[in-house]
Chain A
Amino acid sequence: MLTTLSKTARGLAFAAAAVVAGASGAAFAQAKVAVITPYMAQPGTQAYVEAFQAVAKEKGWDVNVVDTAGDVAAVISRIEDVVNQGVDAIVINVDPTQVAAGLQTAKDANIPVVGMDAGSDPLLATNVTSDGVAMAETTAGFVVDRIGGEGNVVMFVFDAFPPVQVRGAKADEIFAANAGITVLDRITPDVSDGGIADSRAKMDAVLAANPEPGSIKAVWAAWDQPALGALQAIEAAGRQGEGIVITGIDANPQAREEVAKGGNFEATVAQDFAGIGAAAAEAVAGLLAGTAPADAVTFVPTKLVTKENAAQ
């Protein structure tokens, strides 16, 4: 009896959803959305998911957050389960190529999947992430402004990892466009120990080779660790008074602390994790209303962190 009732109710709900979605474009009240990640223990992922849930609550969705605690094959299994359950949309936060088997199952069932900083994949409706190129543009632009477009710049890059490689390429472009700027060295640090120690050693060498005050105007790093290493080298050499401008990217806690002190490490860029979660929710809302996201990648703006706002 109960089963029959709930079946009827579900049938009605389905029909209503179809009508509402077709007519007004508004998402149906109890849309079911599954958020599946193996990385819930990561602070970034927690921020995405909380922001996603805040939007979902407003929209009245029934959100099921599944954490597989590091198990990627279990992500595929849970995607299969929620597809079978008949959810309206799925959000993942894991490398899509590793869960392609599950994404294909969702596609076969016509259930859209949105990536939350997951990586681009044809099986995703869209991937919501930060724009690495824009972040590099921001910090390289900051460097150019601060040194007035004149002087020697040391770059720390890492071309073996594509998301970081594009940052370096953008910075190359910006420095090349300023005739007064010379790239003194383009260093790839050894990152096996985290990157700070080797970056410091490499910077020690650069400082030793360029002893004149003012011979190094700035250090541009593609992420925070080399910037922290360069800062240590400059302080150890007693050259912090020369006004060498250092920038990083990512705004990790250690970098924020240094930027807040107002020393040589002047700026870094923060990804907006909450913004990524909220934008993923908006992408889902669009899909539920029947509009596919415009692009395979949805960029969320990032924020420059300087002395003024580093403590936030």
Chain B
Amino acid sequence: MTIATLLRRYGTLIGFALILGFFWFNLPDTFMTARNWLNITQQLSMLMVVAAGMTIVMVMGDFDLSVGSAASLSGIVAGVLFAAGYPIWMTVGVALLGGLVGGAINGVLVSFIGILPFVATLAMLTILSGAAFVLSGGKTISGASIPADFSNFARGGIPLGDIGGVAVMLPNLTIVALVVVFAVWVLLEQTTFGRRLYAIGGNIEAAYLSGVAVRRLKLIAFALTGLSAAAAGLMYASRVASANPTQGSGLMLNAIAAVFLGMTMSEQGVPRILATVIGVLILGVLDNGLTQLSVDSYIRQVLVGAIILLAVAASSFSKRLRR
């Protein structure tokens, strides 16, 4: 393996290791601890779920800009139903179904009507966000309307015993994220459905000619992305014990960034779910570590952007060297 190949395959991973090493050295007592890592996984759980869903459509070379407003809307739907006194199981079910339907509409627009994903999902972003404002009247739904059982979910977890006299638990939100990542891994890596999505991403014409039901698969893929966005919206609502019509908006760009970061790790430059997980971890570890180092929150944003550019540039530069 030449240095160029090594850099291309493992450049981002090496970068991640360097970031970890940097924080470990500078925060010797608090960074590389079980407690901190459980915190990080909990903080990242919502982004992880959205990014996992985003990976499904990006495998086909598409993307979905509406995930952030889909997440906000599902939180608002849940909040409105809670305020009307519906039970948790029904509320969660309706919100998830809403996400699935919203995603399916994206799928229809892209695959059956033939609108570019950028345009179709941008329009859906606006529609879903508007719907969230209409349903909530622009207000934050909080306080007594949100059942305690629902908000306690995000605060609970499976006890792991005591570390240094402090009770440590595996947070419920982390468990949800792990389950979603595992499901997407099975779907993309272990089923014909997943292989066909990769075939569509590789060459849509060839996939179509060899009998892949391109339209139907795209529809299903977009519906699953919408479902994951709705799940993340519920996780967010549970964590903040409230619903606000804009609270999911930060998730979309970060999810796409995480998938892009992950793509720099695969040989053919295609999205892989486990690589997406590394991408999400890079973003989350930066937030966690830089906060602990008291680095200005605005500098943090600049750094995150620079790291994405660096990773993608290194990956495409080493690809050019190969030619």
List the interface of chain A (C-beta within 8 A of B): 3, 6-7, 10, 32, 62, 64-74, 76-78, 80-82, 84-86, 95, 97-101, 104, 108
User: Closest Cβ of chain B: how far from A240's Cβ, in Å?
Assistant: 34
Q: What CA separation (Å) do A71 and B151 show in the bound complex?
A: 17
**Does the CB pair A82–B240 fall under 8 Å?**
no
Using CB atoms and an 8 Å cutoff, list the residues of chain B in contact with chain A: 25, 27-30, 33, 35-36, 39, 42-43, 46, 140, 142-143, 151, 154-155, 166, 236, 239-242, 244, 246-247, 249-250, 287-288, 291-292, 294, 296-298
- Set A7, A80, A86: member contacting B39, Cβ < 8 A: A80
Question: Which of chain A's residues has its CB closest to B293's CB?
Answer: A85
**Which DSSP category, helix, strand, loop or mixed, fits chain B's interface?**
helix
> How far in angstroms is the closest Cβ of chain B from A119?
10
Q: Which residues of A contact B155 (CB under 8 A)?
A: 101, 104
Q: Choose one: A62, A72, A84, A86; the contact of B242 (CB below 8 Å).
A: A72
Bound together, the chains give a CA A80 to CA B33 distance in angstroms of 13
- Across chains A and B, the number of contacting residue pairs, with CB separation under 8 Å, is 91
28 inter-chain pairs at a CB distance below 8 angstroms, sorted by A residue, are A6-B28, A7-B28, A7-B29, A32-B294, A64-B291, A65-B296, A71-B247, A72-B240, A72-B247, A76-B43, A76-B240, A77-B43, A77-B288, A78-B287, A78-B291, A81-B287, A81-B288, A84-B35, A85-B292, A85-B294, A98-B142, A98-B240, A98-B242, A99-B240, A101-B154, A101-B155, A101-B240, A101-B241
Complex contact A73–B240 (CB within 8 A): yes
Rounded to whole Å, the gap between the CB of A68 and the closest CB of chain B is 7
Contact between B240 and A84, CB atoms less than 8 A apart: no
Closest approach, in angstroms, between the C-beta of A165 and any C-beta of chain B? 15
The answer to whether B298 touches A86, judged by C-beta atoms less than 8 angstroms apart, is: no
Min Cβ gap A191→B in Å is 11
CA distance A10 to B292 in the complex (A): 16
Q: Cβ of B25 and Cβ of A62 under 8 Å apart? A: no
Query: By the criterion CB–CB under 8 Å, are A100 and B291 in contact?
Result: no
Task: Tell me, in angstroms, the Cα distance from A73 to B49 when the chains sit together.
Answer: 15
Contacting residue for A76 out of B143, B239, B292, B297, CB 8 A:
B239
Closest 6 CB pairs of A and B: A77-B43, A64-B294, A85-B292, A81-B291, A98-B240, A80-B39
Q: How far is the CA of A66 from the CA of B293 in the complex (A)?
A: 12
Specify which of A69, A74, A76, A84 lies most central, judged by the most chain B CB atoms within 10 Å of its CB: A84
Known interface pairs A72-B247, A84-B35, A84-B36. Does A65 touch B297 (Cβ–Cβ under 8 Å)?
Answer: yes
User: Please, which residues of chain A bring their CB within 8 A of the CB of B244?
Assistant: 72
* Docked-complex contact B246 and A70, CB < 8 angstroms: yes
Chain A: CB-nearest residue to B24: A3
Extra contacts, 15 of them, besides A78-B287, A101-B240 (Cβ < 8 A), are A66-B291, A69-B250, A70-B249, A71-B250, A72-B242, A76-B43, A77-B288, A81-B291, A84-B39, A86-B30, A95-B142, A97-B142, A97-B143, A101-B155, A101-B241
- Chain B residues within an 8 Å CB radius of A66: 291, 297
Q: How far is the CA of A85 from the CA of B293 in the complex (A)?
A: 8
Q: How far is the CB of A96 from chain B (nearest CB, A)?
A: 11
Find chain A residues with CB under 8 A from B287 CB.
74, 77-78, 81
The docked-state distance in angstroms from the alpha carbon of A85 to that of B26 is 11
B143 CB → nearest A CB, Å: 6
Contact yes or no, A85 B247, CB < 8 A: no
